[in-house]
Amino acid sequence: MEFNIDDLPVLFPYPRIYPEQYAYMVDLKKTLDAGGNCVLEMPSGTGKTVTLLSLIVAYQQYYPSHRKLIYCSRTMSEIEKALVELKALMKFRTERLGHEEEFRGLGLTSRKNLCLHPSVRREKSGNVVDARCRSLTAGFVKEKKEKGEDVEVCVYHDNLDLLESHNLIPNGVWTLDGLLRYGEEHKQCPYFTARRMMQYCNVIIYSYHYLLDPKIAERVSKDLSKDCIVVFDEAHNIDNVCIESLSTDITDDSLRRATRGAQNLENKINEMRDSDKQKLQDEYEKLVEGLRGADDGRQEDSFMANPTLPDDLLKEAVPGNIRRAEHFVAFLRRFIEYLKTRMKVRQVISETPPSFLSHLKEHTFIEKKPLRFCAERLTSLVRTLELTNIEDYQPLQEVATFATLVATYEKGFLLILEPFESDTAEVPNPVLHFICLDAAIAIKPVFDRFSSVVITSGTMSPLEMYPKMLDFPTVVQESYSMTLARRSFLPMIVTRGSDQASISTSFQVRNEPSVVRNYGSLLTEFAKITPDGLVVFFPSYLYMESIISMWQGMGILDEVWKYKLILVETPDAQETSLALETYRTACCNGRGAVLLCVARGKVSEGIDFDHQYGRTVLCIGVPFQYTESRILKARLEFLRETYRIRENDFLSFDAMRHAAQCLGRVLRGKDDYGLMVLADRRFQKKRAQLPKWINQALLDADVNLSTDMAVSSARRFLRTMAQPFRAKDQEGISTWSMDDLRQHQEKMDDDRIKELRAEQEREQNPALAAQVAARNGRESDYEMDDDDEAEMMALDNDA
C-alpha cells in the first residue's frame, strides 16, 4: 500500500498495516526530521523491521540528502531476516514506481560466514578463519607474490583488485546467501566486497559490534558520514554489549601463551636483523617521525586495531623507549611477568586503574604513556615482521589490548582479580577481569558522530532507564500498545499454589519442598491443558538442575511425561540445538513437548516459539542476576554513584527485561495466541515494570492467582481461542486497509486542524481577548469600587 506521512510518500509492501506500525512510522519520521535520538518500544511480532525499513528507505529516496541507513542487529539470523525484508521491500518499490531505483543494500558478517576459499572456509573457529584469511590477503603477501616469491594467496581476494573499486557488485539488495552465490559465480571474495562497498551503500545491515566495539569499529565503520541514520534493533541488551566491548579477561593460561608469543616475536626480530635489517630500520624511522597514518591504506588487513575509542586515541609519535623492536619486546615481557606475579596473590583484589598503574610503575618502571601505545606498537611490529601465522599471537594481542585500555581510562573501569573460580574452590584458577562499568563510554562516540540514533526493541520498559544509563538525550520516547481484535494472549501472575501457600524462588524458600511441589503441580496442570508446545523458564541453570532432580524424586516428571515430551536446555550450544529440533518435531506431530530452559540462556533470546511451538510460557521465578558476583556489585555501585540508579531498581529492571523477553518469545504475530504465566509472589509488585503492551493486557483479576484459579481461567481463554478466527475480523481494528488508514489520517488531520484553529483563534484575536479581559477587569473594577464605596460609607458612618 501507498500513503503519505506529512509530505513523505511511503510504500509499504503489504496490503494492510497495523495501527501501531503507522504510529511508529510517524514518530520515527518526527525523530529523523528533528535530527535526534529516540527510544521506541514496539510489541514483538508486529513487524518492526519492515516498518523501520520502509519508512527509512522512503525517507532516503524522497529527500535529496539521501541519508545512509546503518541497521544494527544482534545475531546472524536476524541480519539475514532483515536483508530478506529489505529485498522484498525494494522489489515492491520497483513494481510500484515502475523503475528500478539506484539502490544498494548489503549485509556484513564475519569472515567465517562469508569465506569462499576452499580450505579456509572449512576451519571451525572464527579466530582461525580470520587469522588464515589475513595471512593470505595481507598487503605484503601480495608484494611478495609480485616479486615472484612462492607464497600462497587467495584468488578470490585478488580478483577484487581487477574490478572498479566503487562498483564491485551491481545495484540491488544482496542477502548473505545471495552475496555468497554472486561471489562464487564471479570468483570474488564476498567479505571484502561487502567491506569495500560499504561506502557506496544506501543500507548496511550488520551486527552491533561493528559499531560499538572500538577494535572493529575503527577498521570497519570509520568512513561512515555523520548524517547516517543508525538503528539498533533488539537493543534491550545494548548496555551489556557496550560493556563487553571494552572489557577483557586475562588468565594464567593466556599469560603463558603470551610469554611464548613474546619469545617468538624476539626470535623473529633476531632473524630479521640478520636477514633484512633495512625493514626494521625503516619502521624505526617511521616511528621516529611519528608517521602513524602512513599506511592507513592497509587498514583492512591489520593485525589488530587500537582498542580505545577514537576520541581517546593519542595522536602523537610512539614514545622513545619502545621505538626499537627489541626494546618493545623486552617491555612486553616485563609487563607480562608483572601480571604473572600479580596473579599469584591468593585473595580477591579490586583496584582502580590509577592504583594499578602506580603499583606497576613502582615495580617495573613502566610508565603510563608507553603502555598506552602498546596495541599500536604491536600492530606496527607485526606488520613489519610480516608474520603470517597470526593466530599464535592472539594472547599477546589480548595483553596489549589490556595494557592500552588500562593506561587510557581512569574513570568507569575497575580491575578485579579473582584467584578462585568459586568461594569453595581449592585449586586456584586466577582471572584478572578488567571491566568497564559504564555503558555510556562505548556508545558515546556513536551518539557524537551520528545525528540520528534509533534504539528499538520489543521489550525496553522502563524506557527512561536507557537514556539514563547510556547518557543521551532523546527526541521521542514511546511505547506502543498492541491493537488486537481479540484477546490473543493472556498474561497471568500466579502467586500461590493450589494449597494457598505462596510460591517464590527467593533464596530462602526456593528449595523448600512445598514450593518445589507447588511449582511442580503448576507445571503438571499447564502441561495437561496446553496444546502442543510449552516453554518453561528458570532463573538459573543451577536452580533448574536442582528443581528438576527434586521433581524427579517427587514423581512430578513422570506425571508430566504422560502429557508432554520433556526437553532441557544446557549450556552447550549443540546439545541445545538438538533439543530444540526434537522439541519442534514433537510440537508438529502432536505429541507436544515441554522445553525447560533458562531465562538468560540462548533460548530466551533470538529463538521464536511461534504458533504451535509455544502456546504457554511459564516463567518460574524472577530472573534476577547472580548478585554475589563481584563484577555485578562493582557495576551496581558505579551506577548508584554516577547515575543515581539504585541497586534494587537496576536489578529489578534487569530481571524484568529478561522476563519480558521470555514472555515475548511466545507471541510472534497477531494471529498467534498464547498464555503467559509469571509464577512468583514477587511479580505482583513488579507489574508496572512490564512493557506497556503486556501490562495493558494484564487484568487486575489476573494478578494474584492461585494455581487452580490460573488453570481455570487459562481453560476459558483456550476455549475462546479455539473459536474460528478469520482475517476479516481483524480488519479496521488491528489491521488497517487503505481506507481505514485514510480515515485515521483524516481524523488525525481534523484533530490537528481543530487544535490549530483553537490555537490560532487564541493568537489571532488578541484584541478580542483583550476586550474580554478588559471587560472582566472593568467589571471587577466596578465591583471593587462598590466595595470601596461601601467601606467608605461605613467609615463615614463611623465618623
Partner 1 sequence: MSRKPASALPTISTEDMCPVCKTIRYLNKDMEFLINPECYHSMCSNCVNRLFNDGPNQCPYAGCHRTLRRRGFRSAFFGDLSVEREVDIRRRVAAVFNQAEDDFETLRDFNNYLQMVEDLTFDLVSGSDAERRAAEATLQQWEAEHKADIERNRRAGKEADEQSRRRLAAEREAARQRRVEALREAEEEKLERVRNREAELDSLAQGQTGGVGGGGGAQRVQLKRRGHAAAARAVEAAVNTAASAAAASSAAADVGRLSIRGLKEKKKPPPPEGPYDPFGGMDFVPSRYKVHEGLTHPAIEKYKGDPGHVTGGYNFDEYTTRAMFEAFAGLGVFIEDEKEAGIGLSAGEVASMSAGIAAVGDRMEVD
Which secondary structure element, helix H or strand E, spans residue 435, and what is its range?
strand 431-436
433 lies in the binding site for partner 1 (CB under 8 A): no
* Assigned C-alpha cell, 42: 514496539
Site for partner 1 in 555-594 (CB under 8 A): none
798 lies in the binding site for partner 1 (CB under 8 A): no
- List the x/- string, 636-655, binding to partner 1 by CB under 8 A: -x--xx--------------
Q: 583-603 burial string, b = 16+ CB within 10 Å, else e?
A: bbebbeeeebbbbbbbbbbbb
Beta strands in 474-556 (DSSP E): 476-479, 489-496, 533-538
Applying CB under 8 A, which of residues 92, 182, 338, 420 lies at the interface with partner 1? 338
Applying CB under 8 A, which of residues 121, 186, 279, 340 lies at the interface with partner 1? 340
Applying CB under 8 A, which of residues 161, 177, 326, 499 lies at the interface with partner 1? 326
Beta strands in 175-323 (DSSP E): 203-207, 229-232, 248-251
Instruction: Quote the least distance from Cβ 637 to partner 1, whole Å.
Output: 7
State the Cα torsion 769-770-771-777 to the nearest 10°: 120
Cβ within 8 Å of residue 640, ≥6 positions away: 646, 647
Site for partner 1 in 445-484 (CB under 8 A): none
Which CB sits closer to partner 1, 70 or 366?
A: 366
Cβ proximity of 593 and 566 under 8 Å: yes
Applying CB under 8 A, which of residues 119, 240, 629, 771 lies at the interface with partner 1? 771
Is 552 exposed, middle or buried, given 0-12, 13-18 or 19+ CB atoms closer than 10 A? exposed
* Assigned C-alpha cell, 214: 572500538
Applying CB under 8 A, which of residues 7, 316, 423, 798 lies at the interface with partner 1? 316
Cβ proximity of 155 and 141 under 8 Å: no
627 lies in the binding site for partner 1 (CB under 8 A): no
Which CB sits closer to partner 1, 177 or 253?
A: 253
320 lies in the binding site for partner 1 (CB under 8 A): yes
Applying CB under 8 A, which of residues 75, 264, 352, 577 lies at the interface with partner 1? 352
The stretch among 91-99, 536-544, 558-566, 634-642 that binds partner 1 (CB under 8 A) is: 634-642
Which CB sits closer to partner 1, 364 or 379?
A: 364
333 lies in the binding site for partner 1 (CB under 8 A): yes
Site for partner 1 in 284-303 (CB under 8 A): 288
Applying CB under 8 A, which of residues 101, 312, 337, 731 lies at the interface with partner 1? 337
Applying CB under 8 A, which of residues 145, 196, 219, 324 lies at the interface with partner 1? 324
Instruction: Quote the least distance from Cβ 358 to partner 1, whole Å.
Output: 6
Phi and psi, residue 506, nearest 5°: -65, 155
Applying CB under 8 A, which of residues 237, 350, 364, 625 lies at the interface with partner 1? 364
Phi and psi, residue 654, nearest 5°: -65, -40
Which CB sits closer to partner 1, 134 or 323?
A: 323
Instruction: Quote the least distance from Cβ 321 to partner 1, whole Å.
Output: 4
334 lies in the binding site for partner 1 (CB under 8 A): yes
Q: Count of alpha carbons within 13 Å of 536, Cβ hemisphere only?
A: 30
Cβ within 8 Å of residue 769, ≥6 positions away: 762
277 lies in the binding site for partner 1 (CB under 8 A): no
Cα separation, 600 vs 608, whole angstroms: 15
Beta strands in 149-272 (DSSP E): 172-174, 203-207, 229-232, 248-251
Which CB sits closer to partner 1, 289 or 572?
A: 289
Radius of gyration of the chain (CA): 31
- Give contact residues for partner 1 (rule: CB under 8 A): 288, 316-324, 326-327, 330, 333-334, 337-338, 340-341, 344, 352, 354-355, 358, 363-365, 637, 640-641, 767, 770-771, 774-775, 777-778
